[in-house]
Chain A
Amino acid sequence: MTFTRTLGASLTALAFATAAFADDSSIIVQSTTSTANSGLYDYLLPLFQDKSGIQVNVVAVGTGQAIKNAQNCDGDVLLVHAKPAEEKFVAAGFGTDRTDLMYNDFVIVGPEADPAGVGGMHDVQGALTKIADAEALFASRGDDSGTNKKEIALWADTGIDPAAGSGEWYRETGSGMGATLNAGIGMGAYVMTDRATWISFKNKQDYKIQVEGDDDLFNQYGVTPVNPAKCPAVNVDGAKAFSDWLLSDEGQSAIAAYKVSDQQLFFPNAPKN
């Protein structure tokens, strides 16, 4: 008696849960923590949803994980920032085509005290070399994200292998951008972050931007619909509608209009057609 009643209740609960499940009128976007944490989607998605009636569900993880998830067909659109990895994704047939969407830049933030003396530098390789020489603490994402890939590439330019100092002055947190900023600030380490996350980050304490303005710190985002040839369950129309809208004049001006503390976070640069 009790058993049948509880069984009934749990089946009802399950049915309820399934009712909330996404159908054809929704898409899943595999994306990065930087775009989600900065509040960009909270601003953009209602605009798109009102216009198209398509519900957009964003899964915000590191670029590396986002690409893996999309390769497992667990997404309809990929919106990340690691161009070489995205191009590999398309070349392997997982994406239909990748298009530049918007950009911002990376900065290196550090404590007021600036133990490595890099404040005001515009040469990122020079700054990283100084940090390594001083063995000043540096917190890395260490999670194969777009930011992490970029940081590793910048270290490679300097000819320094920071992994040699891993666990000592080079601290790999293996977490998202916000978590790494929290950890870095907690231990007084320099952190490389995208500007959007930094501007909207609320736990800055005595940290400020120490290094910025190097062309090498350019941060390009791209949008790639997932290929239905590889993933038959993809919502092709929904994915196309969303990426077309982002790349349209309307989507591009919406991206430009998004501001936090009066600062524009992302700069649209989709190719004009």
Chain B
Amino acid sequence: MQNIGEAFSLALALVASGDADLFEIVGLSLQVSLSATVLACLIGLPIGALVAISKFPGRGALLVLMNALMGLPPVVVGLMVYLNFSRSGPLGFLGLLYTPTAMIVAQTILIAPIVAALSRQVLEDLHAEYAEHFRSLCLSRMQTVSALLWDARYSLLTVALAGFGRAVAEVGAVIIVGGNIDHLTRVMTTAIALETSKGDLALALALGLVLLTIALGVNAAVQSLRMSARRQAYV
């Protein structure tokens, strides 16, 4: 148990020392997972919105599939991206394996279903409330989708945060497609895995605490954005 106390002081010391390697790793973690979150929202939100307002045969099966894809194992996603981006794979000519771009692609695939499935639920509930109103205004499908997305934007922020949380915390996908290369593709989770395998449990735990703090920071930033937007709305 002394590891935990040691980890706390080590985490503080690491941050206080301004360790350049640590900031590089933290920066890459944020860059990769935030990019993946933005891309996953660009893909997932329109899909979620369209499914939310549409009725078509096989919809129930599609919902089951969307919800099931939220449980995509990161290792499987990593493996699929690896096989495609490998120099001997179909997209090998792009030379993207072992780059941050490959990591962004893997995390986008991992969390786009989460964004789509959760936003579908949020928007469908909202649509149920407004359906009559929208019909009376004779809105087109695109107008309905954009009105819903705009109206639910605060709930959708939470959806995006759920996606970000999954992305920044996963190790299985990025370690396969990124390779955990020092100064190139090493992120927080792969660094934690590495220190654990070196038996340096205190340092691994300290990095874990730093990662937790970053996740807190991102969530707090979004929360304050939301609150200031609310305040403005009432002025």
Q: Which residues of A contact B (CB under 8 A)?
A: 3, 6-7, 9-10, 13-14, 16-18, 20-22, 28, 33, 37, 42, 57-60, 69, 71-74, 175-179, 181-182, 200-204, 231, 233
Q: Which chain A residue has the least Cβ–Cβ distance from B193? A: A179
- A59-B98, A182-B196 known; A74-B42 Cβ under 8 A: no
Contact of A10 among B32, B38, B98, B182 (CB under 8 A): B38
Residues on the A chain within 8 Å of B104, using CB: 13-14, 17
Do residues B180 and A37 form an inter-chain contact, with CB atoms below 8 A?
no
Q: Which residues of B contact A181 (CB under 8 A)?
A: 199
How many residue pairs bridge A and B at CB < 8 Å? 104
Q: Which residues of A contact B100 (CB under 8 A)?
A: 17-18, 20-21
B181 touching A57 by the CB < 8 A rule? yes
Q: Given known contacts A37-B198, A233-B95, what 12 new A-B pairs fall within 8 Å (CB)?
A: A14-B101, A16-B31, A21-B100, A37-B194, A37-B197, A57-B181, A59-B180, A59-B181, A74-B98, A178-B196, A178-B197, A181-B199
What separation, in Å, do the CA atoms of A31 and B105 have in the docked complex?
A: 25
Which residues of chain A have C-beta atoms less than 8 A from B92's C-beta? 73, 233
- Does A73 contact B197, Cβ atoms closer than 8 Å? no
A22 touches B99 (CB 8 A): yes
Which residues of B are at the interface with A, using a C-beta cutoff of 8 A?
31-32, 34-35, 38-39, 41-42, 86-89, 92, 95-101, 104, 179-182, 184, 194, 196-201
Q: Are B197 and A33 in contact (CB under 8 A)?
A: yes
A17 touches B31 (CB 8 A): yes
User: 6 A-B pairs, CB-CB below 8 angstroms?
Assistant: A18-B100, A57-B179, A71-B88, A72-B89, A73-B92, A203-B201
> What residues of B have a CB within 8 angstroms of the CB of A233 in the complex?
87, 92, 95
- Contact call A72/B86, Cβ cutoff below 8 A: yes
